[in-house]
């Protein structure tokens, strides 16, 4: 089918909830994608951080196809060996004690909210359910995770939102003002991705961690976009030298299949019991097989170090482009502010020229596959440079 045919079919049958680029991707390998007209693209987006090993990695494909041929799904009324292996691997590599598997980042964050509120009410009484999140944050598109999101632009149309959230600036004075006697948790992203690729200040993060420990306020870290090697550590909080009570993950964990995970510390491992939470598709065997392949690759000697090196290389190359005002981020999660023109216009022109990039507010955002090689980085940067000139 031609691109125009695909576009017409899509617009006639799918809700218009996405502002799409005029591209229909049909296949890919590594950091390269091909559209319906046969045009090739360098992909600096990895499906918004999902294709952590790039398109159609051979080992990943083998893992998911072999599992699909054995057992594509079983409900959580029964034990699943592949789900158990994935949970054990995540816990061993992070120091957390238990995992709940969901289907997306928003669902993983919903689990974190429920876990925190049940801990708070079980421990301190029924009103101990207040959660503080940071201004400029983004935690998902369900009614509850929209309520947790600290951006007014998302608080439209769908009222009433889930109550019990307050928003603070990423500095301790504002945190202290937002916290009250019923605060059970503080939730944050280490890098505010949708908020404009804004890394949190390490001093603030460490002071906040100590503040939470002193007051038995749970620290929830949303690593839906930053987790699974994206910043050169398995999880971004490890760059900051803290260990939260709860961390959520999704996107890059499945390598292309929908999966979410909510990991909790030892003292929280039994807070949610049978009947308090659940998911029909959470921990699906095929998705778990893909996640195991991703974690195996990320655990290989030198892999994360190479992610850090590639991130520094990309950051340095972006920083010397005359048309770029500033670059921020960690590892292979970077944002670049242009001196003139809009990020949206630049992203559209990049797509026309064979490079796929993202935007985040006024910035161009780059989330290439963790496996991207240097020639692919250089090819993408060449297109970017010519485009923004």
Give binding residues for pyridoxal 5'-phosphate as ranges. Answer: 105-106, 138, 222-225, 280
CA 227/CA 209 separation, integer angstroms: 19
Q: CB-based burial of residue 44 (10 Å sphere; 0-12 exposed, 13-18 middle, 19+ buried)?
A: buried
Q: CB-based burial of residue 302 (10 Å sphere; 0-12 exposed, 13-18 middle, 19+ buried)?
A: exposed
Residue numbers belonging to the annotated binding site for N(2)-acetyl-L-ornithine? 141, 279
Please provide the DSSP assignment of 12-25 as one string.
Answer: HHS-S-----S--E
Longest dimension (CA), the chain: 61
Pairing of strands 260-264, 358-360: unpaired
Question: Cα dist. 373→18, 33, 153, 278 in Å?
Answer: 30, 15, 37, 40
* Phi, psi (rounded to 5 degrees) for 332: -100, 40
Residue numbers belonging to the annotated binding site? 105-106, 138, 141, 222-225, 279-280
CA 357/CA 355 separation, integer angstroms: 6
- Residue 24 C-alpha from the chain's centroid: 23
CA 70/CA 245 separation, integer angstroms: 36
Question: Could you tell me which residues come within 8 angstroms of residue 265 by beta carbon, excluding any fewer than 6 positions away?
Answer: 96, 97, 243, 244, 245, 246
For the beta carbon of residue 386, count every other beta carbon within 10 angstroms.
Answer: 12
For the beta carbon of residue 180, count every other beta carbon within 10 angstroms.
Answer: 9
Unique residue bearing structure tokens 């359910």: 129
Roughly what angle, to the nearest 10 degrees, separates helices 285-298 and 81-94? 30
Please provide the DSSP assignment of 79-95 as one string.
Answer: --HHHHHHHHHHHHHH-
């Amino acid at each position: 089918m031609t691109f125009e045919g695909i576009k017409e079919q899509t617009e006639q049958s799918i809700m218009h909830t996405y502002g799409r680029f005029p591209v229909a991707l049909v296949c890919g390998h590594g950091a390269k994608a091909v559209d319906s007209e046969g045009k090739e693209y360098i992909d600096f987006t990895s499906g918004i951080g999902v294709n952590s090993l790039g398109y159609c990695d051979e080992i990943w494909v083998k893992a998911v196809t072999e599992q699909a041929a054995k057992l594509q799904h079983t409900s959580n009324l029964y034990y699943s060996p592949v789900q158990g292996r994935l949970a054990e691997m995540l816990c061993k590599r992070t120091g957390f004690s238990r995992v709940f598997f969901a289907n997306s980042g928003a669902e993983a964050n919903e689990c974190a909210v429920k876990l925190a509120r049940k801990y708070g009410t079980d421990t301190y009484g029924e009103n101990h359910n207040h959660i503080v999140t940071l201004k400029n944050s983004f935690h998902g598109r369900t009614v509850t995770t929209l309520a947790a999101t600290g951006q007014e632009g998302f608080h439209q149309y769908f009222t009433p939102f889930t109550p019990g959230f307050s928003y603070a600036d990423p500095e301790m004075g504002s945190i202290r003002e937002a916290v009250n006697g019923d605060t059970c948790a503080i939730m944050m992203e280490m890098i505010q991705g949708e908020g404009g690729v804004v890394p949190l200040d390490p001093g603030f993060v460490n002071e906040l961690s100590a503040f939470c420990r002193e007051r038995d306020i749970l620290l929830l870290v949303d690593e839906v976009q930053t987790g699974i090697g994206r910043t050169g550590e398995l999880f971004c909080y490890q760059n900051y030298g803290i260990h939260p009570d709860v961390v959520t993950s999704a996107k890059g964990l499945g390598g292309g299949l929908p999966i979410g995970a909510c990991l909790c510390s030892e003292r929280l491992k039994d807070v949610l019991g049978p009947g308090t939470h659940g998911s029909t598709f959470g921990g699906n065997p095929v998705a778990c097989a893909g996640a195991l392949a991703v974690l195996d690759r990320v655990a290989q000697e030198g892999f994360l170090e190479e992610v850090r090196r590639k991130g520094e290389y990309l950051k340095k190359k972006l920083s010397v482009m005359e048309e770029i005002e500033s670059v921020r981020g960690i590892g292979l999660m970077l944002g670049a502010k242009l001196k003139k023109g809009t990020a949206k216009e630049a992203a559209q022109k990049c797509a026309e020229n064979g490079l796929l990039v993202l935007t985040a507010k006024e910035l161009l955002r780059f989330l290439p596959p963790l496996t991207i090689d240097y020639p692919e980085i250089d090819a993408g940067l060449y297109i970017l440079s010519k485009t923004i000139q």
